[in-house]
Amino acid sequence: MEHFFNKLENYNILNYILPAIVFDIGCRYYINIKLIPTDNIFISIFIYYFLGLVISRIGSLIIKPLLWKLKILNRKYSSECTDFYNAEEKDAKIKILFTDYNMYRNFIATFFLLLVSKFVYEIKNWLNITSTIIYTILFILLIVLFIMSYKKQLEYIHNRIENDKSKSSNI
C-alpha cells in the first residue's frame, strides 16, 4: 500500500484522482448517485485512481479526436512524437505544460461524462432498464476503451523506441 502512494506523482493526482473526485461529487449532487460505496480511504483512493484512469482514456481517445474534428484544436499543435521527445529533453517546462494540457482535457472528459451519465440515468429510469443491463453495457464499453488504450500505448512505446534508434544512428 505504501509503495502505491509513493508512486503517485503530480501527474497521477492532477490527471486521475482530481477529475475522479470532481466526477464523484458531480454524480452525488447532479445525478444523485453515490459512486464510492465505502468510507475506507484506501479503497476510495484505488476507486478514484481507476475512475480517473477511465476518464483520462476517454479524454485521450474520444475527447481529443472530437475536438480535432470540430476544429477546436488545430492539428498543427499535434507535433510528431519525435519533436515532442526532443523538445522535452531540451526544455523541462514542457513536461509540466503537458501535464496541465492533459488535466484540462481530462476535466472536459469529466464534465462530458457527467452529462452522458445523467442522460443514461434518465433513460434507464424512463425505460425501466435493470442495473444489470447497464453494468453489462458499461463493462463492454470499458473493454473496448482499454483495447483502444492498449493499442495506443503500444504505438507510443514503438515511437519512443524508433526515436531512440534514430538518435543512436545519428551519433
Predicted TM-score (pTM) of this structure: 0.84
pLDDT in tens, 77-92: 665 556 776 777 788 8
Q: Which residues contact 100 (CB under 8 A, 6 or more apart)?
A: 14
- pLDDT reported for residue 78: 61
pLDDT at 170: 67
- Alpha helices, DSSP H, located in 17-92: 18-26, 41-58, 64-69, 81-90
- At 13, the pLDDT band (50, 70, 90 cuts) reads confident
C-alpha span between 71 and 106 (Å, rounded): 18
Residue whose entry in the numeric block shows the C-alpha cell 464510492: 36
- Closest of 55, 65, 47 to residue 112, by C-alpha: 55
- Check residue 20 and give its pLDDT: 96
Query: For the CA atoms of 53, 54, 60, 65, what is the dihedral angle to 10 degrees?
Result: -170
Give residue-wise pLDDT tens across range 114-165: 999 999 999 999 999 998 999 999 999 999 999 999 999 999 899 888 877 7
Weakest-pLDDT range from 4-13, 43-52, 60-69, 161-170: 4-13
